[in-house]
């Protein structure tokens, strides 16, 4: 289970400047809480998968990879919340999208090979669609700052 949003300590804005981060933190909290719902669905899906394929160990590896991707999302939301550089926010957003896609590919694969429940996959897909809507809103609040991305990605 992922921790509650309130258990995380964010970098505080300067006194009198809290209002600048409030809207972004509220969007990040909404996104994080939606991810907690997705995460629970993914964990329940993993619990239904067989633990071991004696011949190739495919299922256990798939479960581990699904978990790696699922666990990756929450810290990235938190590290991009609050008073953080635009470059860091964009990098984390890109990684969130990447890991969500990888996770769904693995879930789809487990259904394809007959290990996963197709109905459960559909429920996760619906929750991911809600997550995407909140994600798009959250990213729309990112404001480019004066710092230049040394790698030239987020310019």
- 8-52 pLDDT per residue, tens: 655 555 555 555 678 888 999 999 999 999 999 999 999 998 876
pLDDT at 51: 73
- 46-57 pLDDT per residue, tens: 999 887 666 656
Alpha helices in the chain (DSSP H): 18-48, 58-79, 86-112, 118-140
pTM: 0.87
Q: In this predicted structure, which of 25-34, 56-65, 67-76 has the lowest mean pLDDT? A: 56-65
Domains annotated for the chain, with CATH where assigned, are 20-140 (1.20.1440.60)
Asked if residues 137 and 33 have their Cβ atoms less than 8 Å apart, the reply is no
Asked if residues 81 and 25 have their Cβ atoms less than 8 Å apart, the reply is yes
Q: What is the mean pLDDT of the chain?
A: 88
What's the rounded Cα separation, in Å, for the pair 34 and 135? 10
Asked if residues 143 and 154 have their Cβ atoms less than 8 Å apart, the reply is no
């Amino acid at each position: 289970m992922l921790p509650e949003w309130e258990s995380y300590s964010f970098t505080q804005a300067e006194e009198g400047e809290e209002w600048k981060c409030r809207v972004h933190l509220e969007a990040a909290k909404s996104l994080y809480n939606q991810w907690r719902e997705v995460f629970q669905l993914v964990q329940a899906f993993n619990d239904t998968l067989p633990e071991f394929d004696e011949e190739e160990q495919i299922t256990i590896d798939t479960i581990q990879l699904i978990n790696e991707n699922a666990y990756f999302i929450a810290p990235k939301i938190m590290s991009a919340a609050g008073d953080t550089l635009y470059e860091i926010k964009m990098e984390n957003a890109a990684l969130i999208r990447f890991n969500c896609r990888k996770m769904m590919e693995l879930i789809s694969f487990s259904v394809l090979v007959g290990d996963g429940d197709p109905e459960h996959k559909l429920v996760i897909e619906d929750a991911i669609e809600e997550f995407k809507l909140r994600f798009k809103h959250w990213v729309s609040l990112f404001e480019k700052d004066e710092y230049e991305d040394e790698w030239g990605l987020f310019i």
